[in-house]
């Protein structure tokens, strides 16, 4: 690694430590020529392949930006959005692929966003799935209602089971 101060062609690693839950390694380096120290970060490259075939590095900041836009005016705080983006990145990295199609990134956002805020989810889904009619929204809303009913049903069962246990 070239020294950023004097451009000397070599440097020595004086310290290495994992950061961000092992996702990356920070190395403290020392230049044998000018004696200055600098830090490098090493992480596995994850590329997102867009529909056009162009690839770009995966960016958690981009996820946060997209989700924040969908959450505009909704009672969702920044911490929840940051946490969602972290979950999305974990889901994607867990696939173990070096390249991931952009639609899979969108898909990984939809699930956690639905849990976070249904209106934001609908906004995001309408763009991501290119809704072009009211029928598309109606179908999605019906799916959300069915999921809510299933959750209520499960909740009632759990409450009833708890009642039995007492």
Q: Rounding to the nearest 10 degrees, give the CA dihedral for residues 118, 59, 55, 106.
A: -10
Q: Which is nearer to Zn ion, 32 or 65 (CB)?
A: 32
Q: 12 — alpha (psi -120 to 50), left (phi > 0) or beta? A: beta
Minimum distance from CB of 14 to Zn ion (Å)? 14
Q: Give least dist CB 33 to Zn ion, A.
A: 5
Q: Which CB sits closer to Zn ion, 6 or 146?
A: 6
CB 24 within 8 A of CB 41: yes
Instruction: Determine the distance from the C-alpha atom of residue 75 to the mean position of all C-alpha atoms in its chain, rounded to a whole number.
Output: 20
Query: In the complex with Zn ion, which residue's Cβ is closer, 9 or 162?
Result: 9
Positions in the binding site for Zn ion (CB under 5 A): 3, 5-6, 8, 31, 33-34
Report the nearest approach of Zn ion to the CB of residue 40 (Å).
14
């Amino acid at each position: 690694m070239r020294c950023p101060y004097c451009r000397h062609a070599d440097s020595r690693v004086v310290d290495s430590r994992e950061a961000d839950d092992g996702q990356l390694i920070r190395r403290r380096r020392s230049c044998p020529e000018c004696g200055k120290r600098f830090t490098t970060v090493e992480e596995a490259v994850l590329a997102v392949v867009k529909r056009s075939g162009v690839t770009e590095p995966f960016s958690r900041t981009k996820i946060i930006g997209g989700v924040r836009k969908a959450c505009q005016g909704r009672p969702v705080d920044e911490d929840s959005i940051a946490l969602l983006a972290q979950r999305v990145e974990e889901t994607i990295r867990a696939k173990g692929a070096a390249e991931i199609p952009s639609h899979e990134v969108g898909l990984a956002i939809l699930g956690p966003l639905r849990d976070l805020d249904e209106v934001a989810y609908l906004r995001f889904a309408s763009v991501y799935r290119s809704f072009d009619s009211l029928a598309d929204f109606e179908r999605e809303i019906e799916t959300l209602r069915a999921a809510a009913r299933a959750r209520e049903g499960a909740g009632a069962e759990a409450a009833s089971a708890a009642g039995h246990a007492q």
